[in-house]
Amino acid sequence: MKKFLNISLLSLVALSALTLGSCKNEVDEIFDDDAVARLEKAQKEYYDILTDKGGKWQLEYYANSNEPGYIYLMTFKKDGSVTIAGKNEWIGRAMGESLSISTFGSETSLWDVITDNGPVLSLNSYNKFFHLFANPEDIPSLSDEDPDETGYGHEGDYEFDLMKYSGDTLYVTGKKYGLDMIMTRVDAGVNDETYMNEVDSMKTLFFNARIPQVYINLPNGIRWIVKDGASSILKMFREGDDEISTSEYHNIIITHDGLSFMNPITLDGYVIKNFIRQADGSLLCRDDNETTMTADLLSNVFAIKTFAWKADTTQIGGTFFDKMRAIKSELNDYEKRTLIGIQISFDAKTTQKYQVTFSCKKGKNTFNPTFYVDLEQVGGEQIKLKYTGEADAAGVIYAEKCPSMKTFVELLGGTLNMTSPSLLAPVEMKLSDSGNTANYTYWKL
Amino acid sequence: MKKIQYYISALLLLAVASMSLSSCSEDKLGPTIFPEVSDDLDPNSYTYDLDKFLKENYLDKYNLTFLYKMPDVSTNMNYNLVPATYENSKDLAVLCKYLWFDVYDKIAGPEFLKAYGPRIILLIGSPAYNPTSGTEIVGLAEGGIKVSLFKVNDLNRFFNNPEMMNEYYFKTMHHEFAHILHQTKTYPNEFNTISIGHYDGNNWQDRSEGQVASLGFLTTYASSEFREDFAETIANYITMNESQWARIMDLARRGWVSGDEDDVASEFFCYYYYPDNDATQDMKYAYMYEVIDETDEEGVVHHYLRSNRSIVVYDVEDKDGIDGVDAINQKVQIAREWLKTAWNVDLDELRQEVQDRQKSYNIADLRSQYGL
């Protein structure tokens, strides 16, 4: 009973306070204006931001959490029109491409900044190259497994809550599905198609399907292995951990200057979101300026036994050039034969050795004299291809008829510096004499 | 995905609560806190031509807002929808005027739609799929105020297909307008008695077109309930051309049998035959397209299997006890009399005007005529 009384008394006091409070006419002023006026002001501010300086923006667009992101360029005009340009395989399909071909598309539609709970960017008329991600139709699939997505589609947003503007960056959130995205102002003079082509070409620079894996190198020395980069949904696991049980998947977007994860990821305590492409083709994390993304050591990539490196005979210098010219001359003297190409590969069938093969032609006949070498990794980015003195039957004959071939192989046995235009997708490599870099050869996968 | 199309009409429920409010002091109202919107159109706007057309032909004339820029918040957020294309919005705005508003103006007089027409038309580019039920909304009317038209982005595919254009846009508008009218002046209760006991509000989408026609309904959706039947009767009578109407009447006079009586969604058939013409074998059913008709010298029609013309095919006996043709005609007659007496609108004149216009319109000419 006492407890009841206490509660009743407390309730009475509280009720009295509320009753008295309700007669207070003065309201504390938290904001200068009422809510509607503030909303209207924000609406105008964002409208001006979007159309300012030519009104061109890059949107890092994610339709959902299971697909990679796509870059779109949007040019907002004060007449209520917006030109939306993109380049991806879905646009290709919308334009009738039967295969998954990344295709450029640009179309003008309508836009507005409307008010709801806050200012909202509404792309309010259908743009066939953008709203395809919101269309609730079944998604055509090239694979055997083709679930029916009718009623859902990609479930992408076309209205965005305008959350924050800072330093020519707009932070937006998809209105229906709530994914956070970023819009960045782009110079109004940029040509949409050129820009999108440059973004598209980044994909092959970063992730080449022939390079099986790349690495995220954390400042503490730990490496994370990254696979399936070409799909833009990265499979990642810490080096040394079990791939099957510990892999995690993160979707990314290839941007004009690098790549970004959809959401920040944490690897061994390091928070990572954005990578910027460096001059050497590697990626440097913009968030800490320390973490990098690279492929394996060049010498390891070169040593992958399934690879066949073909010499680019237009990019060859110094003594290598002299020897190649001598080879051509000797082949010509040897019953008018010609040199077609030079290749370094691994003979997995018989000798289990690396080999240098010269392809020669006489009339319709092709000959492949082969010389065996031992690949020695001297340092991180140095190798030697030391001639073993062995050759196949054709090699034995050609060593006699065309002695410069053997000399050329012996030159490869010196210490060779390795460089590549891209440390992330090293599908091209330059091998140059460490003692005199004027002596070099160039090889491509 | 099996797509069953239907309309949704929702009555706007206004709840007025009486509350005794007491204030400690008398507050004076200040100026409006809402932004004052100008009616003037901006001639520099990308959409000026269309906005001008809509203002002159819809807003000023009928106090109707024609919404073609779709704010998602104006729709049911449970559906994934996209806006209409600007070009199709222009075309549908023109077609709505020519094939619908101008028709009522001509038949019922210019004041009719001013008083009873919808106040908002909202264009939506995509269908509204309901993946769980396999249905698709083709039209939505809310409280007789707002009519939503879906699938507008397919309009350009339907220019030469009046049947599809009616299905998604104009039949929808006639249907929804019929609801507005009967919610204003009730139709005779006699209509509800014609097919009483044969409505199925839960499984109408699983019924077949032939089965419901035989029961006296013009569409499967009409068999869902009285009011939808009434709206469908008017909308389909106005928009169906002669061959479409004749086809429905043909279905209505036939007998139908379920391929599997234990399955409410099974196929229905109006023909059967015996393999090898041997009546001792189990009968099999045939779809209409599997059967060909041949008329003999005495004018008697015989049915044969298209795949094997030696097999004789028979009509399924009509056992439902309902004269489907008579039921449909009764319903049309009630609607006809009600429109005349309650609204002074001649249903047959309305139908003829719609039929004439949908046969002869040219979208390019209409665009040009209205400067769009």
Give the pLDDT score at B6.
Answer: 60
A181 and A42 assigned to the same domain: yes
Among the ranges given (A9-13, A111-115, B177-181), the one the predictor scored with the smallest mean pLDDT? A9-13
DSSP for A371-431 reads EEEEEEEEETTEEEEEEEEEE-HHHHHHHHH-HHHHHHHHHTTS-EEEE-S-SSS--EEEE
In this predicted complex, what is the ipTM?
Answer: 0.81
Where does the pLDDT of residue B29 fall: very low under 50, low under 70, confident under 90, or very high at 90 and above? low
B199 and B230 assigned to the same domain: yes
Among the ranges given (A218-232, B6-20, B177-191, B199-213), the one the predictor scored with the smallest mean pLDDT? B6-20
Which whole-number Å values give the CA distances from A235 to A216, A301, B60, in the listed order? Answer: 12, 20, 60
DSSP for A16-29 reads HHHHHHHT------
Whether residue A406 has pLDDT greater than 70: yes
Mean pLDDT of A50-74: 96
DSSP for A291-353 reads -EEEES-HHHHHT-TT-EEEE-TTS-BHHHHHHHHHHHHHHHHTTS-EEEEEEEEEETTTT-E
Give the pLDDT score at B35.
Answer: 54
B218 and B341 assigned to the same domain: yes
Q: What percent of chain B has pLDDT over 90?
A: 59
Q: What percent of chain B has pLDDT over 70?
A: 87
A268 and A310 assigned to the same domain: no
Whether residue A13 has pLDDT greater than 60: no
Mean pLDDT of B29-50: 75
Bridge partners of A373, per DSSP, are A354, A387
Whether residue B17 has pLDDT greater than 60: no
Mean pLDDT of B201-207: 87
Q: Is the CB of B156 inside 8 Å of chain A's CB atoms?
A: no
Q: How far is A309 from chain B (nearest CA, A)?
A: 50
* CB < 8 Å to B73, chain A: 114, 116, 159, 175
Whether residue A99 has pLDDT greater than 50: yes
Identify which of B45, B80, B89 has the shortest CB distance to residue A80: B45
* CB < 8 Å to B24, chain A: 22-23, 25
Mean pLDDT of B304-324: 92
State whether residue A114 is helix, strand or coil: strand
Whether residue A29 has pLDDT greater than 70: no
Give the pLDDT score at B2.
Answer: 44
> Residue B20 falls within a domain, yes or no?
no
Residues 6+ apart with CB under 8 A from A202: A254, A255, A256, A258, A259, A277
State whether residue A267 is helix, strand or coil: strand
A305 and A422 assigned to the same domain: yes
Whether residue A5 has pLDDT greater than 50: no
Domain range enclosing B292? 252-315
B304 and B352 assigned to the same domain: no
Residues 6+ apart with CB under 8 A from B298: none
B52 and B185 assigned to the same domain: yes
Give the pLDDT score at B7.
Answer: 62
> Residue A349 falls within a domain, yes or no?
yes
AA identity, residue A328: K
Q: What is the token pair recorded at B70?
A: 């779709």
Whether residue A6 has pLDDT greater than 60: no
Who wins on pLDDT, B238 or B137? B238
Determine contact, residues B176/B9, Cβ cutoff 8 Å.
yes
Mean pLDDT of B269-282: 91
Separation CA B167–CA B3 (nearest Å): 13
Whether residue B39 has pLDDT greater than 80: no
The residue from B315, B336, B358 where one domain ends is B315
B360 and B311 assigned to the same domain: no
Separation CA B292–CA B301 (nearest Å): 10
Determine contact, residues B311/B304, Cβ cutoff 8 Å.
yes
B340 and B262 assigned to the same domain: no
CB contact under 8 A, B153 and A124: no
User: In this structure, what CATH number is given to the domain that contains residue B345?
Assistant: 3.40.390.70
Question: Total domain count for chain B?
Answer: 2
Whether residue A116 has pLDDT greater than 90: no
> Using one digit for the tens of pLDDT, what is the confidence trace for A349-369?
889 999 999 999 999 999 999
Question: Total domain count for chain A?
Answer: 3
Give the pLDDT score at B28.
Answer: 56
B276 and B173 assigned to the same domain: no
Cβ-Cβ pairs closer than 8 A, A with B, add up to 95
CB contact under 8 A, A175 and B83: no
Q: What is the token pair recorded at A398?
A: 């050609």
The residue from B294, B315, B336 where one domain ends is B315
Give the pLDDT score at B21.
Answer: 41
Expressed in angstroms, the distance from the first to the final Cα of chain A is 89
Give the pLDDT score at A142.
Answer: 60
Domain range enclosing A429? 301-444
> Using one digit for the tens of pLDDT, what is the confidence trace for A246-271?
999 999 999 999 999 999 999 999 99
The residue from A271, A295, A319 where one domain ends is A295
Q: What percent of chain A has pLDDT over 70?
A: 92
Q: What is the token pair recorded at A442?
A: 């160039």
Q: How far is B81 from chain A (nearest CA, A)?
A: 7
The residue from A279, A295, A311 where one domain ends is A295
> Residue A150 falls within a domain, yes or no?
yes
Task: Return mean pLDDT, chain A.
Answer: 90
- Is B26 exposed, middle or buried, given 0-12, 13-18 or 19+ CB atoms closer than 10 A? exposed
Q: What is the largest CA-CA distance in chain B?
A: 97
Q: What is the token pair recorded at A93?
A: 């399909």
Mean pLDDT of A276-293: 91
Mean pLDDT of B184-209: 93
Q: Which residue has the tokens 């005009």?
A: A77
Q: What is the token pair recorded at B333?
A: 């007659």
Residues 6+ apart with CB under 8 A from B219: B209, B212, B232, B236
Where does the pLDDT of residue B10 fall: very low under 50, low under 70, confident under 90, or very high at 90 and above? very low
Which whole-number Å values give the CA distances from B343 to A348, B107, B109, B336, B349, in the listed order? Answer: 91, 11, 11, 10, 13
- According to DSSP, the β-strands at A169-174 and A180-185 are antiparallel
Separation CA A227–CA A230 (nearest Å): 8
A367 and A287 assigned to the same domain: no
> Residue A271 falls within a domain, yes or no?
yes
> Residue A24 falls within a domain, yes or no?
no
Give the pLDDT score at A231.
Answer: 85
A49 and A152 assigned to the same domain: yes
CB contact under 8 A, A158 and B72: yes
Whether residue B37 has pLDDT greater than 70: no
CB atoms within 10 A of CB A343: 17
A280 and A327 assigned to the same domain: no
* CB < 8 Å to A40, chain B: 35
Q: What is the largest CA-CA distance in chain A?
A: 120
Whether residue B96 has pLDDT greater than 80: yes
B220: left (phi over 0), alpha (psi -120 to 50) or beta: alpha
Give the pLDDT score at B353.
Answer: 96
Beta strands in A153-208 (DSSP E): 159-166, 169-174, 180-185
* CB < 8 Å to B125, chain A: 126, 131
The residue from A266, A295, A324 where one domain ends is A295
Where does the pLDDT of residue B140 fall: very low under 50, low under 70, confident under 90, or very high at 90 and above? confident
B64 and B212 assigned to the same domain: yes
* CB < 8 Å to B70, chain A: 124-125
Task: Return mean pLDDT, chain B.
Answer: 86
Mean pLDDT of B131-148: 79
Where does the pLDDT of residue B24 fall: very low under 50, low under 70, confident under 90, or very high at 90 and above? very low
Identify which of A36, A126, A150 has the shortest CB distance to residue B85: A126
Separation CA A76–CA A364 (nearest Å): 62
CB contact under 8 A, A110 and B131: no
A308 and A435 assigned to the same domain: yes
Who wins on pLDDT, B117 or A14? B117
CB contact under 8 A, A131 and B79: no
Among the ranges given (A36-40, A45-49, A339-343), the one the predictor scored with the smallest mean pLDDT? A36-40
* CB < 8 Å to A138, chain B: 1
User: In this structure, what CATH number is given to the domain that contains residue A86?
Assistant: 2.40.128
Q: Is the CB of A137 inside 8 Å of chain B's CB atoms?
A: yes
CB contact under 8 A, A150 and B131: yes
Mean pLDDT of B17-40: 52
> Residue B121 falls within a domain, yes or no?
yes
Determine contact, residues B226/B216, Cβ cutoff 8 Å.
no
DSSP tally for chain B: helices H, then strands E: 14, 13
Who wins on pLDDT, A286 or A29? A286
B70 and B168 assigned to the same domain: yes
Q: What is the token pair recorded at B292?
A: 């060909």
> Residue B24 falls within a domain, yes or no?
no
CB contact under 8 A, A116 and B73: yes
Whether residue B207 has pLDDT greater than 80: yes
